[in-house]
Amino acid sequence: MRSRRERGILILILALSVGLIMLGVFIMGQYEYSVLTSYAKQQDSYVKLVLDQINLQADRSDDEIIENILASLGNGDTSYWAFSKEQTILYIKNVTETYQYKGITMESYFSSNTASEFLDSLRLNQVTHAIVNMGDNQYVASGVIFKYDGNQYKICLLTDQTVILSDNAFLSAKILMYIFWIALIIIALLMSVFLLIERVLRRREIEEEEASIQDLNLKLEKAESEVQYYRYYSPENNVYTDKMLPLLIDSLRSKGAKQLSMLTVEFPEERLTDDFLHNTADRFGKRVLRFKESDKKASLLFVNVEQAEAKEQLERLLPPEVKITDSRDMMAAMKEEETGTDTKSDEVGAAETEEKPATDAE
């Protein structure tokens, strides 16, 4: 699930980068178009100025208009004039080009779709402009239709857009925009990658914290279990009833206890019994298990202590008037019980053996 989410973030970063690149290309295209449009408006003014110069003097011949006005304006491959009367071309670029296209209509020369649309958009005494394709090049074209001495003429000025876009000021601004946009894309990518890395590191930290918390919880549960076990089964903290005696004896035997000695003490008051059990816990600790048989009677089970030594230790702790009863040696009693059980089992087995032949004899 998490790997799928990270994959989705990477795809989103790539999509964002592609989107920024496409947006940058679009913005640069719009910037170039705005520069060309601005230049086209200036070029329209220039064409209008030439038109006014033609109209200043009447009764000029076509050759006079070409030689005195259009040819003197300067023509070349990157910027040139086109001049036609009715549908016939009178002048294109220079004398050589004019001779080559002599007798050709303006529509035949402006044969591309954009050029034809530009010609169709020309208006009488109103200069218009457009960006047209001429062969492999694109031009900013400005033109107008005008009437002179009863004839209809078309005059157009075409400038190669590479000349406009190669201007130093424009190139400087364009380079700065590219640098800015590339820097913006790089910053966006770096921020996205940084956020992704931070997310991965944060996820690892969370996983480590969860593992640490889980480990601490396990240790806490273990500690609580040990505390609970100590609380329930520690001799210093518990006073047992006589019902727990067989279970405790089995537990002590399983842990390797070799000698169990038990003494019983009787008191005239219950308060003295409680004080005695409390004091023996502080005095003997884990070496003695304490039992309260009744309100005035308590017993102590000594582990790995002989009966006589246990009684001697207890007498030092109690006043002489307190009665101490010697209980039987617990380990010996258990051994006797086990021996008695084994003997009884043997007798039962022997009796069954004797009965079996008698049955067969019958």
Q: What percent of the chain has pLDDT over 70?
A: 83
**What is the phi-psi region of residue 240: left when phi exceeds 0, alpha when psi lies from -120 to 50, beta otherwise?**
beta
Q: What is the pLDDT of residues 248-275, one digit of tens each?
A: 778 778 877 778 888 888 888 888 878 8
List, for residues 179-230, the tens digit of each pLDDT value. 887 887 788 778 777 877 887 888 888 888 888 898 888 888 887 766 565 5
Q: Angle at Cα 104 formed by Cα 73 and Cα 135, nearest 5°? A: 70
At 53-89, the pLDDT tens digits run 888 887 788 888 888 888 777 667 688 888 888 888 8
CB neighbourhood size of 89 (10 A): 22
What average pLDDT does this structure show over 113-137? 89
**Domains of the chain with bracketed CATH:** 2-166 (3.30.450), 239-350 (3.30.70)
Residue 289 CA to chain centroid, in angstroms? 60
Q: Closest Cα to residue 326, out of 261, 277, 236, 267? A: 261
First-residue to last-residue Cα distance in the chain: 84
Q: How many CA atoms lie within 13 A of 65 on its CB side?
A: 25
Binning pLDDT at 50, 70 and 90, where does residue 355 land? very low
3-state secondary structure (DSSP) of residue 359: helix
- Tell me the residue type at 174: K
Q: What is the pLDDT of residues 148-171, one digit of tens each?
A: 888 899 999 999 888 887 765 666
Confidence of residue 362 (pLDDT cuts 50, 70, 90): very low
What pTM was estimated for this model as a whole? 0.48
pLDDT in tens, 19-54: 877 877 787 777 788 888 888 899 899 999 988 888
d(CA 121, CA 325): 133
Beta-strand runs (E) in the chain: 79-85, 88-92, 128-134, 137-148, 151-160, 239-240, 260-266, 288-294, 297-303, 323-326
Examine the pLDDT at 344 and tell me if it is beyond 60.
no
Six-digit token string for 290: 């304490």
